[in-house]
Structure 1
Amino acid sequence: MKFNLKKAILLFSGIMTGSQLFAQTPDTTKTVQTTTNYVKPFSPENAFRTWSIGVNVGVLTPYNIIQDKRSMDFTSPNGELGYSAYIKKQILPSFGLQLNLMAGKLSGDHAQANAVGYSPYNGFSTKLNYAVDLSGNFTLANINWRHKQGFIQPYVTLGGGLMGYKPTVTIRGGSGGSVTADQIHEFYIPAGAGVKFNISQSINLDLGYQINFVNSDNIDGYNHGMGNDRFSYAHIGLEFALGSRSKPQLATHNPVNSMRTEYLTEEATLNNSIQAQRAQLEAEKAKNDKLRADLDVTNANLAKFTVDSDGDGVPDFFDKCPNTPSGTKVDGSGCPLPTPKDVKVYVTEEDRKIVREAIKNLEFDFGKATIRAHSYPSLDRVAQLLIDKNFSLKLAGHTDNVGSADANMKLSKDRAEAIKAYLVSKGANASRIEATGYGKTQPIASNKTAKGRQLNRRVEFTLF
């Protein structure tokens, strides 16, 4: 098979030089591939580059891989220079529509013998002025788990179009000569396959082979046999993606890998969130441990204010006369009281006023049984009243309904006991003071309002 090798080599060298220049652009760096080629799954079409143009150069020949040379009109097909260009619209990652334009030359030698056993022509040369067709381009595979776009995309094409050509045949015989026909227009079907290599973010190297089925038997100028003519085109070329370089080509985009990337990204985000929540829980646990340790220390400190070894009602911390006999009446310092005189004492309005003032001024720290300092003067007057008149006093602690019943019961009892301890510390007779907690069981107002809950948080003083 003859081939115009010199022209093909020059064109191929020009294509490869251009591809090397384009391949040196920043789009080929790993950073660009990892930052600009990723597209979120199910993104709209405008997230991709869907238009491209291509230029090819190759070999045109009457020979094709599905036909025996012996069945061809001219049994010695030659290889001639061919060239083509196209514009393509990618509709799906695996399918695009392509408008192709091809031109070049076909030639061959040694015509088949006619019906009388004579071969009328030495050879033929056909000028293919144009061949225009619309083809579907089907990408067969574009999956690569390691990269966001595949490096290689095999494809097949199938379409239909119109060609215009002018055949010239060389007559066998002593006189020789040639005959050139007028330009002929015929329908043809191109079917091909190939593979594309991604040189850069915007450029693909295209290697392909195409068989063209002509709807006549005269592309070589010799109508011989029963079948229509066919010719093939093997080409190499470059495809250039149009549009912004920040967008990937739809034809080279791998939607499966985009879904995998999305999954891995969401998984990493979820793991980071879990780690942050775990760190927050550890910090909260450390705070709780510290609060528990502080509470243990506070409870230990409070315990020494409540221990009453001799059972006289005065804690050991305030008891100035420890180990008094059981049943002995003592004063606020834990010392035995002198024998009381038979004196009848009445509760006056002035006495009740002192108690009311104490109740009015009484405040505790929030959620605790610690009496605030500004309540002391009123309580001091109540303690002096108890000492002077030897009154008995009942302290009843109450809370609102915020919190559990057990916690409220304990808080109300602790507050009543705190008042008792303070009065005893000022000299009041512990045996004549009763401290009781009722929790939230005896509200005097509705717990549905802030004002009502404030009224329910109280300590009642009953003087007798």
Structure 2
Amino acid sequence: MKINFNKSLLLLSALLAGNKLMAQTDSLSKSDYVQPFAKGAQFRTWSIGVDGGLLTPYTIFRGHDDYRTPNSNVGYGAYVRNQFSHSFAGQLSFFRGNVEGTGPVPSAEASIRDSYKTQINYAVDLSGQFTLANISWRNQQNAIQPYFSAGFGLMGFQPKLRAVGTNTEVDYKPNGSVKAAYIPVGLGLRFNLGDVVGLNVGYQVNFVDGDNFDGYTIGSSNDKFSYAHIGLEFALGKRSKPQLVRHNPVNSMRTEYLVKDMQLQNQLDAERAANQQLRNDLNNTNANLSALNSKLTADSDGDGVPDIYDKCPNTPAGTKVDGAGCPLAPAKIIITEEDKRVVREAIKNLEFDFGKATIKAHSYASLDRVAEILMNKNFSLKLAGHTDNVGSDAANMKLSKDRAEAVKSYLVSKGANESRIEAVGYGETQPIASNKTAAGRQKNRRVEFTLY
């Protein structure tokens, strides 16, 4: 099995990563959510795994070393990992297998060697693993976790050499295996297959501390070989807890913000509902008080005495009543000559703008005196408006009514009781002189005042 198989495996992994890299799971149970900055006890941090793959002296850094043609052999291993944080874990790994190559580069020994096969009896290393791309805010867990690793290990291996022209293998070190340190550097992708199981695809280059891994020492560089592997990983611990390596802290912070925002919104909604209930209770109380106040102050007949105290309901409008709402005995009204003179003077001085109901200013003084006696003596007053026969009957009737109303409005504005003043219009229907002459028409344009 040649190095082309290694390249195909790496290409397949890259295609898988291109389709799914940074992808994350969309649906999670409630148990998958963990508050930001939660302690490690809230997660599953331990896991174990087994893997198998290809061992070859070919690496992505500088190809093969002492032999021209690297071959591929099957290797297998296992590991245990503890995830210390979202991005860093410690992993203890073990693997073994065979590494083989043929055709050594030219040297003094090339004429006597044809190939080698190094049996790795054990390789144990402790490495730090850095998980990448687990800070997307969209989902709580990452479906794929890319990672990079580096560490230090010890291995025991036994190179076997094959001489040129023979199939005889000779141990590089007949008395036992060679022991050497090595530095593993790798990268890979971890795929979620479920709550417990994951698929781990990786590629690791192992830098050996020495140039005798292939039983052939040439030049000044150390030997190295690669291990491309795929395997299954099993999370340990309670399934109710999420795995720390899959967990997305940024999404947890976003979720926490949304939860707090929802809680605050619910609290505000509850407070608004409580305030609305208080408002409704207050409105009901105000309505009850308003109804009670209306009942206490209702005055159906308008005599100034509330109904609950009114012993004489339905008193006619304008009737003077006592404290119990009953009519007072009418007082005798006496109209003096002076009162009549004030009224005559007001009639004499009353003038309007031509064709209008606007009172001229020089009429105000005499009307003020009429308002004064109406207030002081509580007289009633009838105002009767009249016109000549110039114009239509309807227009004259309206003008006479408007002029009488204008006088009433003025007297009321000076303090007279509106309910004791009556304003009517007769138009041209009650002339007191002939409308054939200017003097007669002048007399017919008038407003009569009647005290009673």
Deviation at residue 92 of structure 1 after TM alignment: 0.7
Decide whether the 8 Å contact of 1:310 with 1:322 is kept in 2.
Answer: no
Decide whether the 8 Å contact of 2:26 with 2:139 is kept in 1.
Answer: no
- The two structures, once aligned, show a CA RMSD in angstroms of 3.4
Matched residue, 2:29: 34
CA distance in 2, matches of 1:314, 1:87: 96
What is the 5 A alignment of 1:208-357?
A: 208-304=202-298, 309=303, 317-318=310-311
Alpha-carbon distance change, 320 to 229 in structure 1, aligned in 2, over 3 angstroms: closer
CA distance in 1, matches of 2:117, 2:271: 80
CA distance in 2, matches of 1:54, 1:108: 29
Deviation at residue 276 of structure 1 after TM alignment: 2.4
Aligned match for 2:81, one of 82, 88, 98: 88
AA partner of residue 60 (structure 1): L
AA partner of residue 103 (structure 2): H
TM-score if structure 2 supplies the norm length? 0.61
Aligned match for 2:52, one of 28, 50, 57: 57
Question: Is 1:187 aligned to 2:181, yes or no?
Answer: yes
Decide whether the 8 Å contact of 1:113 with 1:120 is kept in 2.
Answer: no
Question: Is 1:76 aligned to 2:69, yes or no?
Answer: yes
Identity among equivalent positions (%) equals: 42
Decide whether the 8 Å contact of 2:303 with 2:325 is kept in 1.
Answer: no
Deviation at residue 225 of structure 1 after TM alignment: 1.7
Decide whether the 8 Å contact of 1:51 with 1:243 is kept in 2.
Answer: yes
Matched residue, 2:43: 48
Matched residue, 2:137: 145
Decide whether the 8 Å contact of 1:131 with 1:161 is kept in 2.
Answer: yes
CA distance in 2, matches of 1:111, 1:321: 133
Deviation at residue 272 of structure 1 after TM alignment: 1.9
Decide whether the 8 Å contact of 1:54 with 1:238 is kept in 2.
Answer: yes
| Aligned-partner SS, 2:286 | helix
Matched residue, 1:159: 151
Matched residue, 1:98: 91
TM-score if structure 1 supplies the norm length? 0.60
Decide whether the 8 Å contact of 1:54 with 1:237 is kept in 2.
Answer: yes
Deviation at residue 332 of structure 1 after TM alignment: 6.9
Decide whether the 8 Å contact of 2:50 with 2:78 is kept in 1.
Answer: yes
Decide whether the 8 Å contact of 1:85 with 1:100 is kept in 2.
Answer: yes
Deviation at residue 48 of structure 1 after TM alignment: 0.7
Deviation at residue 304 of structure 1 after TM alignment: 3.6
CA deviations over 1:63-109 (Å, ceiling 9, x no partner): 1011134xx21110000000111111111110011111010001111
Matched residue, 1:114: 107
Deviation at residue 36 of structure 1 after TM alignment: 1.8
What is the 5 A alignment of 1:439-454?
A: none
Which structure is larger by alpha-carbon Rg, 1 or 2? 2
Deviation at residue 296 of structure 1 after TM alignment: 2.2
AA partner of residue 169 (structure 2): S
Alpha-carbon distance change, 304 to 327 in structure 1, aligned in 2, over 3 angstroms: closer
| Aligned-partner SS, 1:43 | coil
CA distance in 2, matches of 1:310, 1:226: 124
Question: Is 1:207 aligned to 2:198, yes or no?
Answer: no
AA partner of residue 160 (structure 2): T
- Structure 2, gaps ≥5 residues long: 10-24, 330-452
Deviation at residue 320 of structure 1 after TM alignment: 8.9
Aligned match for 2:118, one of 103, 106, 126: 126
- Structure 1, gaps ≥5 residues long: 10-28, 338-464
Number of residue pairs matched by the alignment: 308
CA distance in 2, matches of 1:203, 1:100: 18
Deviation at residue 128 of structure 1 after TM alignment: 0.3
Matched residue, 1:66: 61
CA distance in 1, matches of 2:261, 2:303: 64
Deviation at residue 60 of structure 1 after TM alignment: 0.3
Alpha-carbon distance change, 304 to 77 in structure 1, aligned in 2, over 3 angstroms: closer
Decide whether the 8 Å contact of 2:128 with 2:151 is kept in 1.
Answer: yes
CA distance in 2, matches of 1:113, 1:204: 46
CA deviations over 1:281-320 (Å, ceiling 9, x no partner): 3333233333323222222211147999489x99960359
Decide whether the 8 Å contact of 1:314 with 1:334 is kept in 2.
Answer: no
Deviation at residue 226 of structure 1 after TM alignment: 1.4
| Aligned-partner SS, 1:233 | strand
